[in-house]
Structure 1
Amino acid sequence: METNGDAVADPQLPLRDVVARRIRELILTGGLSPGERLPEDHLAEQLGVSRNPVREALRTLEAEGFVQVFARRGASVATLSVKQADDLFDLRLALEPLGARLAARHVTQPAVDLLRKILAMAQQDGARRSAQELSDLHTELHSKIFEMSRNDHLISVALPMVRRGQWLLLQHSSLKNPHAWDEHEPLIAAIEMGAEELAETTARAHVLSVRHRLMPRLTGTG
């Protein structure tokens, strides 16, 4: 694992969150591979911090599904099996339509403007952005929709799911293709109109569409 030694560069976040973000980035970008062991002392040395924030960060990443922790064996980068990916889509089908419905119920124009700004950044500048930047935009867009729901319980469950989905998309999706973002346009439009049922239906159709495209790649049938 290589790092740039700046894990503690953001004074606005708790150190454990900064460390978790840095380790998450390494996993998402392939700097840390599925199954790779994550010794706390090694991570602490590489990131220039003590072992305690590393230990706390690994707990956060375990809850998000990026890390597996085994008794007496320590932590390692999680692997995403075909079943786990399929289970993730089942969870998305349950939560994303609800998030879209509630976002439409509590819609505000500034929130919609932000969604459209994120989408425009991906569609218009996608060719010059890295896969990591595009996956970050995708995560930001879907996270913002859940945040618009104003349901703290839903948000606490959904945001780790969105980050877990980012890992899957980064490995198997073509986010550089502008058409990969087209399905977000009717979703944002339904939310902007405050059309709860339409937003819910559109979100469900979007998840099903992504599932249809990605699962064959994971199973080797597409």
Structure 2
Amino acid sequence: MALAIGDAHTPLTKMVKDALRERILNAEFEPGTRLVEGRISEEMGVSRMPVREALRELAAEGLVKIIPRRGATVSMPAADQKMDLIEVRATLEALNARLAARRKDPERIEELQRVLAAGESDIEKGDFSEMRAHNDAFHTALGEVSGNVTLQDLIRTLRDQTAMLFKQDDPVKVRETWREHADILRAVIAGDEELAAILASRHVYNAVEPEQATD
């Protein structure tokens, strides 16, 4: 049976790409997993062409590695690249928060507050199944407040490339992450650019698994 990957109005390559990205970021496809065109096309009910194009686009984003005559595998940053990616992401997240505190659009801040409350509600219930989605929504909403589209494109790619370096299923870490989100939001609402930037940068370093930063 074909896997549902989107609606009829979305280009096929994009639907395949989005479905594969989600499975990579959810760790359904772990680093090193072979991504076989024929198997994926059969599972998704599409031809090999959109699968091939999707894999090429994911390779350009750093999520997939394609080796000639050997095919595609899920990427894992090399040991010497991990800290590089973390440092760049921390720097850009700090800039993102600084701009959000400077611009602090009231309507967009309301969305940030709504996302934060939704995550807090699930944590109180002990339901962590949607926390990655809540986390993505919070950072997307923060980017909307910052108002810099180019910065969001850069950060989105880095978030995907570094997602596997962060532990997302540990309840203690999830609670800590959400407290840090609340601190960042308070700084943004207060218009404290320096504090918002410091908290956002620290948030990235706090979230990474120690062994991932040193392997």
TM-score of the aligned structures, taking structure 2 as reference length: 0.85
CA deviation profile, 1:145-164 (whole Å, cap 9, x unmatched): 22332223212211111223
- Matching residue of 1:159: 156
Counterparts of 1:97-116 in structure 2 under 5 Å? 97-116=94-113
- Matching residue of 1:191: 188
Quickly say closer, same or farther: Cα 1:128–1:169, change in 2 above 3 A: same
**Aligned-pair CA distance for 1:54:** 1.5
Query: What do you get for the CA RMSD once the two structures are aligned?
Result: 2.5
Give me the whole-angstrom Cα distance separating, in 1, the residues matched to 2:180 and 2:192: 16
- Matching residue of 1:180: 177
Q: Secondary structure at the match of 2:147?
A: coil
**Aligned-pair CA distance for 1:99:** 0.8
**Aligned-pair CA distance for 1:136:** 2.1
Give me the whole-angstrom Cα distance separating, in 1, the residues matched to 2:116 and 2:122: 10
**Aligned-pair CA distance for 1:178:** 2.3
- Matching residue of 1:215: 210
**Aligned-pair CA distance for 1:29:** 3.0
Contact 1:138–1:166 (CA<8 Å) still a contact in 2? Answer: no
**Aligned-pair CA distance for 1:13:** 3.3
**Aligned-pair CA distance for 1:47:** 0.6
- Matching residue of 2:121: 124
- Matching residue of 1:6: 4
- Amino acid aligned to 2:110: D
Counterparts of 1:1-222 in structure 2 under 5 Å? 5-7=3-5, 9-126=6-123, 127-130=126-129, 133-170=130-167, 174=171, 177-211=174-208, 214-216=209-211, 219=214
Contact 1:135–1:169 (CA<8 Å) still a contact in 2? Answer: no
Give me the whole-angstrom Cα distance separating, in 2, the residues matched to 1:97 and 1:45: 43
Give me the whole-angstrom Cα distance separating, in 1, the residues matched to 2:44 and 2:164: 22
Quickly say closer, same or farther: Cα 1:144–1:166, change in 2 above 3 A: farther
* Structure 2 residue ranges without an equivalent (≥5): none
- Comparing 95-104 with 67-76, which one deviates more in the overlay? 67-76
Give me the whole-angstrom Cα distance separating, in 2, the residues matched to 1:4 and 1:181: 37
* Structure 1 residue ranges without an equivalent (≥5): none
Give me the whole-angstrom Cα distance separating, in 1, the residues matched to 2:14 and 2:141: 19
How many residue pairs get aligned? The number is: 213
